[in-house]
Structures are given as C-alpha cells and as structure tokens.
Amino acid sequence: MDLGIFIFQTLIKILLVLLIFSALAGFTTYIERKVLAFMQRRLGPMYVGPFGLLQILADGIKLFTKEDIIPTNAIKPIFKVAPVILPVSAFVAFTGVPILPDIQIGDTTFQFLIVDSDVGVLFVLGVMAVGMFSPLLAGIASSNKWSLLGGARTAIQLLSFEVVTGLSILAPLMLVGSLNLIDINNYQIEHGWLIWQQPIAFVLFLIAGYAETNRTPFDLLEHEAEVVSGYATEYSGMRWGLFFIGEYVNMYIVSFLVVLIFLGGFGEGTLLDGLCYLAKVLFFIFLFLWTRAAWPHVRPDQLMWLTWKVLMPLAVINIVVTGLLVI
C-alpha cells in the first residue's frame, strides 16, 4: 500500500479511537452512576438534562474549569506528568486491540486494528502495565501521607498482579501458539471458545484484570474509607480527570481482551458476529459495575495473600497441566 495513504489511514484510526473512547469513558461514568444507583434503590443523576444525561457535560465543564492546585512541597514536574501516563498508556494499548472486525468495502478491506503485531497480547498487556507508574509516581510526588500510602499500594498491586496476568494468559497462548490477537480469534472459530478449554485461566485473567484497572474489589489505591483518595488525594480538575479517563479506558481494554481471548472474539467477522462481540464487551463492562455495587474491598495483605498463595500456584498448575496435555 502507498505509504502516504497508510499514514493517513492510521492517523484517522488513531483519532477515531481517541475520540470514541474518551467519549465512552465519560459516558461510562454516567452508566456506572446509574447502574450503581439502581442496584442501591436510588435514581442516580436526574437533574441535568433528561434522566440526568447532561450530567457528563456538567462534570466535564467542572473538571475543565476547576483550579489546578499543585501543592507547595510536591515534586512539581513529576506531579504534573504523572496523570498523563495512565491515559496515554491506555490509549496506546488500545492501538493493539481490534475494536471491530475488518470490514470489506468493495475490494478494499478496512482494518480497524491499528497495530497488527505478532506480539499483540504482550504489547497490549505491557503497555497497559506501564500505566501503573501513574499512580505510583503521583503518590510519591504529592508529598501527602495518603498519596504516599496509595503509591505504596500501587507497588503492592503491581508486584502481585502482573505475575498472575502473565501466567494466567500463558496457558491459552500455549494452546493457540501465537501472541497475535487475530490468530487467537481465528483459533477459536475452529476449536470453540477458549473459556471451555481454559476456565481457570479465564477466571484468573478476569481477577487480574480487575486489579490492573484498579476496580472494586481491588481498588485499594484509592480506597476512600482508608486512604482518603489514595494517590489522587492532591489532584484536582483535569489532572484528576485524566486518571479516571485512563481507568475507564483500561476497563474497556480488559473487557475487549477477555472477550477476544476467551469468549470467541468477533468470530468470522460478519455483522452479527460484530454485534455479539460488542455485546459481550458491554457485558463485561457491566460486570465491572455490578461487582462494584455488590462486593467489599480487600485489604492489601489479603491481596498479596490471594495472589501469591492462591492465584499464582493455581496459574502455574494450570500451565503445567495444559503443557502436559498439549504435548
């Protein structure tokens, strides 16, 4: 393909991903508030606009116009840069996720995937994990006790869950024999969804995904009841908002990954398959909100106990068993 057209197309795709998913992140906050409210017999946002729909807009205006406070003792350059890392890493990771199957218009195929790499899964997970630096640096640079505690908990989280994420996904990858997300998707067309072959890996990966995106029950980085707002205590305005855009985009990535790797992805790429794909993704987003309404948080020591003493051995056993079966 002509290089110029390629660059142009890629830029358009990047812009699309950026726009769609920052808008979706905002919309998800609204959905989250509504779903949580309904589950708790409340109504949620109701005043701004019909059914409170314009609440997102109001929140946006608030975030953009709020004073950007930088504490006197904070390490300023790091404090300023930290919130940017999370959304950047999240959006970069998104370039490796096929958000829609390829579309055939005439005899040109339009590919939604931006980076079609042979190490797709590694790329996405790796870049996503970089996002963890954001709360870590923010916590250390804020010169605030709560932030520091939040930062320390980030380190715990990173140590505990990166291992499980990697190990849990290893077993299905051994079956597929490729790190390319499209290959994983195509493998499932022939062999059925990987969740039936790898149920343990599915559960482990899902749990690890919750920790990666730091959502309930593993949101100990910003556990209101214990550490005020954790790493985000000193942040206000759009800098605070960036953390949350990053968090919600990460939620989407994890949902896409789970569906792609374990639930058949977009199958053969027909229209119906595409719709099913999106519905599955939305179900996982809903699951994030659902568990948030129902489950309590875990303590940091429980988190480490859970990962190192339960989940990691399970993942290793899973790999060994899968390995024996493959051979």
Partner 1 sequence: MNKEVIKGSQNYIPVEIEDYPTTGWQKFKQVVRRSLGKELFVGLWVVLREMLKFNIHTVQYPEEVLPLPSRYRAVHKLLRLLESGNERCIGCGLCEKICIADCIRMETKEENGRKVVSEYSINLGRCIFCGYCAEVCPELAIVHGSRYENASEQRAHFVLKDDMLTPIDFLKEQKEFDGFGAVSPNADKLIKKTPLAY
- Output the CA–CA distances (angstroms, integers) from residue 188 to 148, 198, 220, in the order listed: 44, 12, 35
> 181, 306, 311, 315: which one contacts partner 1 (CB under 8 A)?
306
> 28, 29, 30, 35: which one contacts partner 1 (CB under 8 A)?
35
> 57, 61, 310, 321: which one contacts partner 1 (CB under 8 A)?
310
Residue 167: CB minimum distance to partner 1, A: 19
Q: Does 325 bind partner 1 (CB under 8 A)?
A: no
Residue 45: CB minimum distance to partner 1, A: 11
Between 63 and 208, whose beta carbon lies closer to partner 1?
208
Which tokens sit at 276?
Answer: 């099913």
- Output the CA–CA distances (angstroms, integers) from residue 134 to 98, 200, 243, 261, in the order listed: 25, 30, 8, 27
Which tokens sit at 140?
Answer: 């250390």
Build a one-symbol-per-residue string for 271-290: x at contacts with partner 1 by CB under 8 A, - elsewhere: -------------------x
| β partners of residue 269 | none
Residue 291: CB minimum distance to partner 1, A: 7
Residue 2: CB minimum distance to partner 1, A: 52
Between 214 and 216, whose beta carbon lies closer to partner 1?
216
Distance CA 138, CA 116 (A): 32
Which tokens sit at 209?
Answer: 């995904």
> 107 CB contacts (<8 Å, ≥6 apart)?
none
Q: Does 204 bind partner 1 (CB under 8 A)?
A: no
DSSP 306: I
| CB-based contact 94:253 (threshold 8 Å) | yes
> 64, 270, 295, 323: which one contacts partner 1 (CB under 8 A)?
295
> 270, 291, 321, 326: which one contacts partner 1 (CB under 8 A)?
291
Q: Does 41 bind partner 1 (CB under 8 A)?
A: yes
110 in helix, strand or coil? strand
> 14, 24, 31, 46: which one contacts partner 1 (CB under 8 A)?
46
Nearest to 289 by CA among 20, 41, 39: 39
Nearest to 218 by CA among 283, 263, 165: 165
Site of interaction with partner 1 (CB under 8 A): 35, 38-43, 46, 290-291, 293-295, 305-306, 309-310
